[in-house]
Amino acid sequence: DAKTTQPTSMDCAEGRAANLPCNHSTISGNEYVYWYRQIHSQGPQYIIHGLKNNETNEMASLIITEDRKSSTLILPHATLRDTAVYYCIVRYAIMYSGGGADGLTFGKGTHLIIQP
Amino acid sequence: SAVISQKPSRDICQRGTSLTIQCQVDSQVTMMFWYRQQPGQSLTLIATANQGSEATYESGFVIDKFPISRPNLTFSTLTVSNMSPEDSSIYLCSVEGHQNTEAFFGQGTRLTVV
- Interface touch A106/B48, C-beta < 8 Å: no
Question: B71 near B85, Cβ under 8 Å?
Answer: no
The phi and psi torsions of A72 (rounded to 5 degrees) equal -135, 130
Q: What is the pLDDT along chain B (114 residues), one digit of tens a residue?
A: 789 999 999 999 999 999 999 999 999 988 899 999 999 999 999 999 988 888 999 999 999 999 999 999 999 999 999 999 999 999 999 998 766 578 999 999 999 999
Q: What is the rounded CA–CA span in Å between residue B97 and residue A78?
A: 27
Partners of B103 on chain A (C-beta within 8 Å) are 36, 44, 46, 104
- Interface touch B45/A107, C-beta < 8 Å: no
CA distance A55 to chain B (A): 14
Average pLDDT over residues A64-80: 97
Per residue in A75-112, pLDDT (tens digit) is 999 999 999 999 999 987 654 444 456 789 999 999 99
| From B35, B96, B105, residue closest to A101, measured CB to CB | B96
CA distance B23 to chain A (A): 13
The pLDDT value recorded for residue B53 is: 84
DSSP state of A104: P
Give the strand pairing for A45-50 and B19-25: unpaired
The pLDDT value recorded for residue A83 is: 98
Burial of B40 (0-12, 13-18, 19+ CB in 10 A): exposed
Partners of B100 on chain A (C-beta within 8 Å) are 94, 101
High-pLDDT (> 90) share of chain A, %: 80
pLDDT higher than 90, residue A54: yes
- Interface touch A46/B104, C-beta < 8 Å: yes
Burial of A88 (0-12, 13-18, 19+ CB in 10 A): buried
| From B4, B33, B42, residue closest to A109, measured CB to CB | B42
